[in-house]
Amino acid sequence: MQPLAERVRPQLLEDYIGQNHLIGPNGPLRRALEQKIIPSLIFWGPPGVGKTSLALLLAQYLNRPFYQLSAINSGVKDIREIIDKAGYQGLFNQQQPVLFIDEIHRFSKSQQDSLLGAVEKGSITLVGATTENPSFEVIGALLSRCQVYVLKPLEQADLLTLLKQAIQRDEILKQKTIQLHETEALFRISGGDARKLLNALEIVVNAQPSDTVIITNDLVLNVIQQNLALYDKQGEQHYDIISAFIKSIRGSDPNAALYYLARMLKGGEDILFIARRMIILASEDIGNANPNALLLANACFESVNKIGMPEARIILGQCVTYLASSPKSNASYAAIDKALDLVEKTGDLPVPLHLRNAPTKLMKQLDYGKDYAYAHAYENNFVDLEFLPDAVKGQTLYEPGANAAEDKLRQYLRLCWKEKYGY
């Protein structure tokens, strides 16, 4: 059975709720529809404000064929198949189809490039939907060929209308007696997302044994806490999930890390946000215990940026399991913070003369660079020389972690510096 949000999706433009600034009597999109002239479009707005429904209604209003792809599970091959169909239909003078791409910001550059020719020729009307700023997420060549419309969050009056329409019109809900005594909890849970709002209503209603359901805030909170797993990219759970993800990798638990990765992917989290956090973690929590971790995390970021979803999940999964299974050390992270603290306390100390560059005759006369010893000219490529300013010499900032890789670094440093730094 379809979820409630799908069952009550508006079938006519007149039934569409919200976005009056676009489709109201004087809205620019309404005027364009009435003139039957629709350019390729980008709908930019938060989740659950009606981007998909509006795209469907546009195609219906114009009597155009409608194709839909999701950037999460579609690739260049799927795009080309639809473009080929559009070209074939054009040979028979059929109407220019509307191609709707949900979450277009998750398409890689190559995937977006594959749309350019068809959009430029006008063989399709592209309608892209994005929750991210298209100026940053859509390539310039494609963005310049599209009109961007900003969809606003739904207001409480809109959400209340949605609830009442669902109760009155849905064939399943109509079989029950549903009274909306309180709606604050439903509104708060939805966060202005119509899909979440309707899903929450359906869960609450289905959880009641009686055909008479009185919606109150206490009832909603009690049922939802037991049944609804929400992931809000902008809200508190966004930070909770990414925190759990990072801590699971830091705690060397690949199973938990994969679980939270899946939660983020299912919730529509930006894959580049996830990859960026793993680059930071690879240095902060693994560091010199396994230097390859940073290389892999960086390669992961570059790869998911090129590939996009759904294949990017494989690359992210590989990187997550590798990082979680690597030995951990925060020694280099702690070292740079100690160095910054030392600089904060001691200020701009003069660089020792023997370490200064001497590009001019005057600088040489002032002994810049004098007594500098070139390490590679000595045995084992090391010379015992003072590199810190006099006021802080002997300070130990980097203390290698207790792991196999950094034990080797410690042994080398001890061989070089003997007891100077306490290695």
Q: Using one digit for the tens of pLDDT, what is the confidence trace for 31-50?
A: 988 888 888 999 998 888 99
Q: Do 262 and 223 share a structural domain?
A: no
- pLDDT, the chain, mean: 86
What would the pLDDT profile of 385-415 be if each residue is shown by its tens digit?
888 898 888 888 888 989 898 888 889 888 8
Q: Please report which confidence band the pLDDT of residue 91 belongs to, taking 50, 70 and 90 as the band edges.
A: very low
Q: Tell me, what DSSP letter sits at residue 39?
A: -
Q: Do 129 and 24 share a structural domain?
A: yes
Q: Do 250 and 128 share a structural domain?
A: no
Q: Do 241 and 215 share a structural domain?
A: no
Whole-number Å distance between alpha carbons of 408 and 291 = 13
- Is 333 a member of any domain? no
Q: What is the CATH number of the domain that holds 204?
A: 1.10.8.60
At a CB cut-off of 8 Å and minimum separation 6, what does 353 contact? 366, 367, 368, 369, 370, 371
- Is 11 a member of any domain? no
Q: Is the pLDDT of residue 229 over 60?
A: no
From the number of C-beta atoms within 10 Å of its C-beta (0-12, 13-18, 19+), residue 390 rates as exposed
Roughly how many angstroms between the first and final C-alpha of the chain, as a whole number? 67
Q: In total, how many domains does the chain have?
A: 4
Domain end position, chosen among 202, 227, 252:
227
Whole-number Å distance between alpha carbons of 203 and 186 = 11
Q: Is the pLDDT of residue 356 over 90?
A: no
Q: What is the CATH number of the domain that holds 353?
A: 1.10.3710
- Is 6 a member of any domain? no
- Domain with 388 in it: 345-417
Whole-number Å distance between alpha carbons of 68 and 52 = 9
Look at the pTM and tell me if it is higher than 0.75: no
| Nearest-10 Cα torsion for 398, 400, 406, 408 | 90
Q: Do 26 and 100 share a structural domain?
A: yes
Q: Do 119 and 75 share a structural domain?
A: yes
Q: What is the CATH number of the domain that holds 29?
A: 3.40.50.300
- Is 13 a member of any domain? no
Q: What is the CATH number of the domain that holds 246?
A: 1.20.272.10
What would the pLDDT profile of 176-191 be if each residue is shown by its tens digit?
899 999 998 888 888 7
Q: Do 111 and 24 share a structural domain?
A: yes
- Is 89 a member of any domain? yes
Q: Is the pLDDT of residue 339 over 70?
A: yes
- Is 47 a member of any domain? yes
71 with 309: CB under 8 angstroms? yes
Q: Do 36 and 132 share a structural domain?
A: yes
| pLDDT attached to residue 318 | 96
Q: Do 314 and 408 share a structural domain?
A: no
Q: Do 285 and 222 share a structural domain?
A: no
Q: Do 192 and 262 share a structural domain?
A: no
Q: Which residue is associated with the tokens 């690359």?
A: 315
